[in-house]
Chain A
C-alpha cells in the first residue's frame, strides 16, 4: 500500500544542511495502523509531510496506492491528496466555518454537488459522534470535538490513507483514548490504512499494529508492536517501552517494599500476548513448594493482545525456586531478577 524507498529530506539552514529524513525504507500494508514514534526533532514530522508532499523529498521514492508521489504533476498531486488525507495536532479547522461547513470543505474541493455534499456531511457527523453540533463554530467545541471534526473532514472524500500528525498530543488522556478508539473504529469499518506519528508509546500500544522507532532521521527499529514490546533491541526503543510498562512510581514503590520486608529476591515477569491471561501464579504455587508475593503489576492492552509486567518476590528452597522460574520461562514469560540481597 505504502512503500518508501531510500527517502531523504535535507533542509538548508544558515548553519548548513540538516538531514531530517535519512534514507528511509518503509513498507506499510493495506489496512494497517502503522505508528512512527520518536522524540521531537527525530524527523517524524518531516517524514509524514513527505508522504503527501507537503514537503518535497530531496531524494528517494514514495509510492502510495497507485500514486508515485514523487513524480506527480501539480494537478495529479492535488488529486492524490484527496485520497491521502491528514489530521493535525492543532486540528487546523477554519474558524470562519461551522462544523458542517468545515467537513464540507474537502468535498467542495473535490467538486461534489451541493446536495450530495450535505448528505455526506450528515453521514460523517454521525460517524464521528458529533450529531447535533453541526451548526456550531470550532470556537464553541472542546479539543476532542475539534479533532472529531478534523477526522470527519479527513474522511469526507473516502481516502485510502489517513495520516495522523501527533493527532492526540494536544488532548487530555481521556479525550486521547476516545479519539484513539474512533481511529480504530474507522480503521475496522472502512479498512483505511492509518499512519500516525507520536511521541507517546501509549498511543502506539493502544492502536498500532506495527511500529517504527525514529532517531535522528533514521528508523532504528521496526516491527510488530507486541514483538517490539517483548524484545526491544535499541536503547531508544527500550526507553519508549518503559513509558508504558513501568509506571514512574514502580521503581520507588518497589524499592521501599524490598527493603521493608523480607523479600530477598524480586523478579520482574513480563507477559506478552495470550500468556497474560493464563493463571500462571496459581500454577506455580500449586506445582512448586514456593510462596509468591505479588508486589506490583500492570497489564496493558495492545491491538495484538495484552502485555504486562508483574513484580513478585518468591520464597522457598533454592531448588524449588529455580524449578518454578524454569517453569515460568517455559510458559513464554520473560523472567528477570531485579533485586537480590
Chain B
C-alpha cells in the first residue's frame, strides 16, 4: 500500500534527511536562543535611562540586527560561504548550514526578546534596584525569569522559521529534507518524495509548536 502510494521513496534516505533537518533545526534553535537573548538584552539595556544607557552601542547593535534581519536567507547563505568555511571548514553538509541559520535567525529573535523585555513592569526592576541588586542580578533574577514565557513563545515562532530556513539551506548542499525534496522530488520529478518531505517537515513544525506552547504555558504564573 505504502509502496503503491509512494513508489519512488527511498525510506532510508528520508530517515537520514529527517535526522539532518532535526539536527540543523535543534542546534540552530539552541544557538539562536542564546545569541538572540544576548542581542535582545543589549538592545533593551542600552536604551535611554536603562541600566546600560549607551547610544553608540545601541546604534551599532540595532544596525547589525536590522541588516541581517533584512537580507533574504537564500542570499545570506551564499554571502556567508567564506565565513562558514572559516569556522566549519566546509560549506557543504548540515553543520555548514548552521552559521547562516543562526546569523539569519538570531537578529529576528533578538527583536522579539527586546519586545518581551519591554513588557516587564518597570516597577519590578525598580524594586530590585531598591533592594541593592546589581545589574547582573537584575538580568538573571528579574529580566530573564519574568520574561521567560514570552521568550519561549518567541523562540517557538523563530524555530518554525528556522525549519523552513533549513529546507532552503538544502538547496546549496546542506542536506536534510529540503535537499531531498529539491534533488529527488523536483529534479527527478518524483512528486511523491516532495510530498513525503513536506509531511515530515509539517510534523517537525507541529512538534516544535506543541512543545513551545506547553513550556510557555507551564512557565506562565501570571
A residues whose Cβ falls under 8 Å from a Cβ of B? 52, 54, 77-82, 85-86, 88, 90, 92-97, 105-106, 108-110, 137-139, 153, 157, 163
Grouping DSSP codes into helix (H, G, I), strand (E, B) and loop, the B interface class, with mixed when no group exceeds half, is helix
- Give the chain A neighbours of B148 by CB distance below 8 A: 96
Contact (Cβ within 8 A) A94 B146: yes
Partner of B137, one of A86, A88, A109, A137: A109
**Shortest Cβ distance from B88 into chain A, in angstroms?**
38
Contact (Cβ within 8 A) B145 A94: yes
Residue on A nearest B127 in the bound complex, by CB: A92
Partner of B132, one of A88, A109, A139, A163: A109
**Shortest Cβ distance from B95 into chain A, in angstroms?**
36
Interface assignment of B3: CB less than 8 Å from any CB of chain A: no
CA of A109 to CA of B131, assembled, Å: 8
CA of A78 to CA of B134, assembled, Å: 7
**Shortest Cβ distance from A31 into chain B, in angstroms?**
22
**Which of B121, B132, B134: most chain A CB closer than 10 A?**
B132
For the complex of A and B, list the 10 residue pairs with the smallest distance between their C-beta atoms, beginning with the closest.
Answer: A81-B132, A92-B127, A78-B132, A92-B123, A86-B130, A137-B221, A106-B131, A96-B145, A82-B132, A92-B124
Partner of A96, one of B126, B132, B134, B146: B146
Contact (Cβ within 8 A) B123 A81: no
Contact (Cβ within 8 A) B127 A86: yes
Partner of B123, one of A90, A110, A138, A157: A90
Residue on A nearest B146 in the bound complex, by CB: A96
- Give the chain B neighbours of A85 by CB distance below 8 A: 130-131
Contact (Cβ within 8 A) B123 A95: no
Interface assignment of B189: CB less than 8 Å from any CB of chain A: no
Extra contacts besides A54-B129, A105-B128 (12): CB < 8 Å: A54-B126, A54-B130, A77-B132, A78-B134, A81-B131, A92-B123, A92-B127, A93-B127, A96-B219, A108-B137, A109-B131, A109-B141
Residues 103-139 of B, flagged 1 when their CB comes within 8 A of A and 0 if not, give: 0000000000000000001011011111111100100
